[in-house]
Amino acid sequence: MNGEVLFPVIETKSQVLQDQAAAADRLRKELNKKNTVLINLMASPGAGKTTTLVRTLRELKDRYRIGVIEADADGDEDARIIAKTGVRVVQVHTGGSCHMDVKMTEQGLEALEAIGTEALDVIFLENVGNLVCPAEFDVGAQLKVMLLSTPEGHDKPWKYPLMFQVSDCLLVNKMDVAEIFSFDLEEMKKGAAMQNPGLQIIPVSAVTGAGYPEWISWLTQRIESVREGNA
């Protein structure tokens, strides 16, 4: 896992903010002014965030100028994978922190701005792999998307309710192997609807591409609606 450096690696420090919510709102307003849509992508480790992102970038990169912030406690494997798609990417190290906060996100955004000349339309933040803490931190994103992969099991809405409550869209990933894990989609949907009746649920497979027309259509509609709201 060595080699030439292809992207900035930022060592962030989480900061205790008196008012995280106010800071998140300030950042969101700033992003709206720039007509940039920030999407906070959250999931457990290994749910398929990076693979989902690669497939999504392939579908969107001719339509939007896109940037990616990769957040991890350590390492840069995911940023290397994203760099290969040709999209602008920075690696953020959270210094062991299990989530991104507004301050850290701002540092990622600044680094992303510093390595390019054109303004970005859409920025994906791939949050730290964690189904608990990232749900508690509003980073200033206009859209929150969570992934749940079928090997994790259909009982997750009952055990990690907050993530389901705060998300706009739930991608149920690895549907191609759902049967092997006796993953009951309807049971999971029941739990998810209890936590968040407005949650958009789209079963997908980042490997086979199943569900991607629906996901890309939902995503572009939401991106457009954020951008129209700014107009």
Judged by the rule CB under 8 A, the positions of this chain that interact with a copy of itself are 1, 44-46, 72-75, 77-78, 96, 98, 128-133, 136, 149, 151-153, 155-156, 158-162, 174, 177, 180
The nearest distance, CB 44 to a copy of itself, in angstroms, is 5
**What distance in Å separates the CA atoms of residue 94 and residue 214, rounded to the nearest whole number?**
33
| HSE of 128, CA atoms in CB hemisphere, 13 A | 24
**For residue 100, which amino acid is it?**
M
Which of 201, 199, 223 is CA-nearest to residue 214? 201
Give every CB contact of residue 149 below 8 A, 6+ residues apart in sequence.
43, 44, 46, 47, 48, 172, 173, 174
CB of 147 to a copy of itself, least distance (A): 11
Cβ nearer to a copy of itself, comparing 28 with 49 = 49
Closest contact distance (angstroms) between CB of 129 and a copy of itself is 7
Q: Quick one: 144 or 222, whose CB is closer to a copy of itself?
A: 144
Cβ 46 to a copy of itself shortest distance, Å? 3
Q: How far is the CB of 21 from a copy of itself (least distance, A)?
A: 16
Nearer to a copy of itself, 24 or 147 (CB): 147
Q: Which residue's CB is nearer to a copy of itself, number 30 or number 136? A: 136
> What is the Cα–Cα distance from 223 to 204, expressed in whole angstroms?
19
The answer to whether the CB of 202 falls within 8 A of the CB of 211 is yes
Residue closer to a copy of itself by CB (options 32, 191) is 191
Write the single-letter amino acid at 6. Answer: L
